[in-house]
Amino acid sequence: MKIKTIAIALLPLFLACACATKVGQLNPPPQPSTASPSKITVYREPSVVGSPVTMVFNIDDVETYGLKSGQSYSFRLDPGEYVFSFFLGLNECRQVLWFKQGKDYRVKLSPTCDFGAEEL
C-alpha cells in the first residue's frame, strides 16, 4: 500500500517533467549534399496513449525534433539508409528506413512503434 501512495504522490512530478520536454527542433537533421534529396515528413499520430508527453524524434541516434500529438515535421535527406527512432516517456521505438533520391515520404510515428513509411 505504501508503494501505491508514493507513486500517486510522485505522479504530478513525473507529468510535469514529461510535459517540460522541449517541443520543436532540438538539432538540425543531416544536411543533404545531393542535388535531389528526399523530402521526409514525420507525423506523430494522435493518440490518447502518451498524448501529454512530447515524442522526441531521432535520426541516427541524434535528437532532432520534439513532437506533440498530431504534429508533423518536414526536412530533406540524402537518399540512403537511416535509423529513425523516438522516445515517448520511457518507451523507445526504432526502425531502419531507406529513402530513394528525389522522392517524397510520409513517416507515421505511433506509440505502438508503428513506423508507417509511405512514398508519396
| Tens digits of residue pLDDT in 20-36 | 468 899 999 999 998 99
pLDDT at position 99: 96
**66-70 contacts at long range (C-beta below 8 A, 24 or more positions apart):** 66/21, 66/22, 66/23, 66/24, 66/26, 67/23, 67/42, 67/109, 68/23, 68/44, 69/44, 70/44, 70/45, 70/46
pLDDT at position 14: 53
Domains of the chain and CATH, by start: 2-119 (2.60.40.1120)
Structure pTM? 0.79
pLDDT at position 4: 63
| DSSP single-letter state for residue 32 | P
Regions of the chain with pLDDT less than 50:
16, 18-20
pLDDT at position 98: 95
pLDDT at position 76: 97
